[in-house]
């Protein structure tokens, strides 16, 4: 496909989704060396251990469910924009611990990082007196793997998945660190942040969640950091990597009912945005001849659907990692 055709396609997507993006800005939120020894710690089925891991950002809490039979493979699970500072929502809002309780793979749940997009920022956020600079890419690909290697967790045989904010981050981290991650999954991820006006939607959401300044993260929208952290722009780096991308179509279903009408409407709008970005990503990798599993299902931007997506990705991850 030529550059003119791609430009025409982007204008088409922009016309189709302009109203959705404008609404989303108004809503201004987003729902939500390898060691071979067996891990020295064990947790009961369905439980986890809490670690305090040193980093350039200070100690970072990490919740871990160790591999059932001492295996070295690991799955990193990233939260959404509103990541709590005391636990991973994967452990509280999904059955991830139960899903993998009998599997020979360690689950790694980094805690915190709200509005961080799990990336290395240029500087601390200037709008909320942030004391330190976010350096999440460094933490997830250098500091944390080195620490977990003490417990027999591999630094070269990992998978990474993320929901919402964490979805694009999972693909980007895998793209730039192929030596570490052998699988990547995005669940309702915003996988094309350089799409026109997307940066303004992100700006509004980050102000809403902690008064963070997007300019301190990647600079102005023409800064190369935006493209480097855009999974669609970096699709070529994903060639040959097993990928699972899941998104809803924005239509509410039974899983949305407990969340109430207002939250459901918000989740519908947000999922319409992730649907658009997923379709653009799908078209881009098809153009490049890159394979991926992409599921577009009924659903909105809520944790019950991400729990389902994790269950769908689980057998793929266990197979890729050899975690039997």
Q: Which residues of 185-223 are buried (b: 16+ CB within 10 A; e: fewer)?
A: bbbbbbbbbebeebbebbbbbbbbbeebbbbbbbeebee
Mean of pLDDT values over 195-202: 92
pLDDT at position 42 is 53
Structure-model confidence comparison of residues 189 and 251, the more confident one: 189
Query: Could you read off the pLDDT of 205-259 as tens digits, one per residue?
Result: 999 999 999 999 999 999 999 999 999 999 999 999 999 999 998 888 778 765 5
- Terminal C-alpha separation, the chain: 42
Is the pLDDT score of 29 beyond 70? no
pLDDT at position 157 is 98
Give one word for 301, left, alpha or beta, with left for phi > 0 and alpha for psi -120 to 50: beta
Residue 62 phi, psi (nearest 5): -135, 125
Query: Could you read off the pLDDT of 39-64 as tens digits, one per residue?
Result: 445 554 446 899 999 999 999 999 99
pLDDT band at 263 (very low <50, low <70, confident <90, very high): low
Is the pLDDT score of 23 beyond 60? no
Is the pLDDT score of 71 beyond 50? yes
Is the pLDDT score of 13 beyond 90? no
pLDDT at position 265 is 80
Is the pLDDT score of 151 beyond 90? yes
Cα–Cα distance for residue pair 257/253, rounded to 1 Å: 7
Q: Please, what sign has the CA dihedral across residues 189, 194, 195, 197?
A: positive
Closest by alpha carbon to 166, among 233, 229, 226?
Answer: 229
The rounded percent of the chain whose pLDDT value lies above 90 is: 76
Annotated catalytic residues are: 164, 271, 301
Q: What's the token pair of residue 196?
A: 């026109």
pLDDT band at 261 (very low <50, low <70, confident <90, very high): low
Closest by alpha carbon to 49, among 106, 113, 112?
Answer: 106
Mean of pLDDT values over 187-212: 95
Q: What's the token pair of residue 143?
A: 């500091």
Average the pLDDT over each of 43-52, 135-144, 302-311 and give the range with the smallest value.
43-52
Indicate the domain borders of the chain. Answer: 3-321
Looking at domain 3-321, its CATH superfamily turns out to be Alpha/Beta hydrolase fold, catalytic domain (3.40.50.1820)
pLDDT at position 260 is 53
Query: Could you read off the pLDDT of 173-184 as tens digits, one per residue?
Result: 999 999 999 999
pLDDT at position 171 is 98
Is the pLDDT score of 75 beyond 60? yes
Mean of pLDDT values over 263-285: 89
> How high does pLDDT run on average in the chain?
87
The model's pTM is: 0.87
Is the pLDDT score of 97 beyond 90? yes
């Amino acid at each position: 496909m030529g550059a003119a055709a791609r430009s025409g396609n982007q204008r088409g997507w922009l016309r189709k989704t302009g109203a959705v993006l404008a609404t989303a800005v108004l809503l201004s939120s987003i729902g939500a060396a390898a060691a071979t020894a067996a891990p020295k710690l064990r947790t009961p089925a369905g439980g986890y251990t809490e670690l305090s891991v040193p980093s350039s950002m200070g100690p970072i809490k990490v919740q871990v469910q160790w591999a059932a039979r001492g295996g070295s493979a690991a799955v990193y699970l990233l939260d959404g924009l509103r990541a709590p500072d005391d636990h991973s929502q994967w452990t509280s809002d999904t059955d991830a611990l139960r899903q993998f309780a009998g599997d020979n793979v360690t689950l790694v749940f980094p805690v915190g990082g709200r509005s961080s997009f799990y990336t290395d920022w240029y500087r601390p956020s200037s709008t909320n007196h942030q004391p330190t600079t976010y350096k999440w890419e460094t933490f997830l690909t250098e500091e944390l793997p080195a620490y977990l290697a003490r417990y027999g967790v591999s630094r070269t045989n990992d998978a990474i998945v993320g929901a919402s904010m964490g979805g694009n981050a999972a693909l980007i981290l895998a793209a730039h660190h192929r030596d570490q991650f052998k699988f990547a999954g995005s669940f309702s991820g915003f996988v094309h942040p350089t799409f026109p006006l997307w940066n303004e939607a992100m700006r509004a959401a980050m102000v809403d969640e902690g008064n963070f300044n997007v300019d301190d993260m990647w600079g102005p929208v023409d800064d190369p950091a935006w493209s480097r952290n855009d999974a669609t722009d970096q699709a070529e780096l994903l060639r040959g990597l097993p990928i699972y991308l899941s998104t809803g179509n924005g239509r509410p279903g039974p899983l949305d009912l407990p969340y109430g009408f207002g939250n459901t409407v918000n989740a519908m709008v947000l999922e319409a945005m992730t649907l658009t970005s997923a379709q653009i990503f799908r078209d881009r990798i098809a153009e490049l001849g890159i394979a991926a599993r992409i599921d577009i299902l009924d659903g909105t931007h809520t944790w019950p659907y991400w729990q389902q997506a994790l269950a769908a990705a689980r057998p793929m991850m266990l197979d890729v990692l050899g975690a039997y």
